[in-house]
A and B are shown apart, each in its own frame.
Chain A
Amino acid sequence: DAKTTQPPSMDCAEGRAANLPCNHSTISGNEYVYWYRQIHSQGPQYIIHGLKNNETNEMASLIITEDRKSSTLILPHATLRDTAVYYCIAANTNTGNQFYFGTGTSLTVIP
């Protein structure tokens, strides 16, 4: 079963930062937080993941709260191509790494 909850939809103005929240209050100590996005009729695309520390890559930043019960994915300068469904997943790479997807957040970037 999915261990994360996300708002079903969000809008963001083009060029502004998109902040997508995720709640994972039951996450265990050895589970990572993964973020993927899916554009219509395509396979999910990996964005970023982390365990405890905040992470940043060329696509996004991941902010994980100190108690690890929630996180926020930040797209610093949203473009129209960032319109997609964003999934937050909690998974343990040491025990098979199965991903159980929740319903995700449908992000619409508005011109």
Chain B
Amino acid sequence: GAVVSQHPSRVICKSGTSVKIECRSLDFQATTMFWYRQFPKKSLMLMATSNEGSKATYEQGVEKDKFLINHASLTLSTLTVTSAHPEDSSFYICSAHTGRWPDTQYFGPGTRLTVL
């Protein structure tokens, strides 16, 4: 199956700093990648849709200036949490759309962000 990686797997930062999370499709090219956030004991919430070479589309209620998304290549998308605060602490998960059979999303292992 298709493999998606994320880096780092876990990050702890101080309030007010920015954190970058990378999402890579390792064995396929992904024209579309997605970013999700998941709070403890809750379901995944879609944050944004990222298309290679164009601006990301953010879901309602997600601040685009706070969660910067860059999709510069067909295998890499990055999410930068700017001026992070404790309420941004969460599990961030990316996925990549294969665009070929089985034409579905494959998810990364997630990044646990803790803001002190």
Contact A46 B32 (CB under 8 A): no
B112 within 8 A of A: yes
B44 near A46 with CB under 8 A, answer no
Q: Are A46 and B49 in contact (CB under 8 A)?
A: no
Q: Does A46 lie within 8 Å of B104, measured CB to CB?
A: yes
Tell me what chain A mostly uses at the interface: helix, strand, loop, or mixed. loop
* Chain B residues within an 8 Å CB radius of A54: none
Pairwise interchain contact B1-A101, C-beta atoms closer than 8 A: no
Chain B residues within 8 Å of chain A by Cβ, number: 26
Point out the residue from A36, A46, A99, A100 that lies within 8 Å of B1, measured CB to CB.
Answer: A46
A43-B102 in contact (CB<8A): no
Q: How far is the CB of A70 from chain B (nearest CB, A)?
A: 20
Complex: how many Å from CA A38 to CA B44?
10
Assess the B105–A97 pair: CB atoms within 8 A.
Answer: yes
Q: Which of A35-89 contact B (CB under 8 A)?
A: 36, 38, 41-46, 49, 87
Partner of B110, one of A36, A42, A49: A42
| 25 pairs, A vs B, C-beta closer than 8 Å | A34-B104, A36-B107, A38-B44, A41-B110, A42-B109, A43-B6, A43-B95, A43-B107, A44-B107, A46-B1, A46-B104, A46-B105, A87-B43, A93-B104, A96-B32, A97-B97, A97-B104, A97-B105, A98-B34, A98-B49, A99-B34, A99-B44, A99-B46, A99-B105, A101-B45
Q: Which residues of chain B have a CB within 8 Å of any CB of chain A?
A: 1, 4, 6, 32, 34, 36, 43-46, 49, 57, 91, 93, 95, 97, 102-110, 112
Binding site for B on A (CB under 8 A): 2, 34, 36, 38, 41-46, 49, 87, 93, 96-104
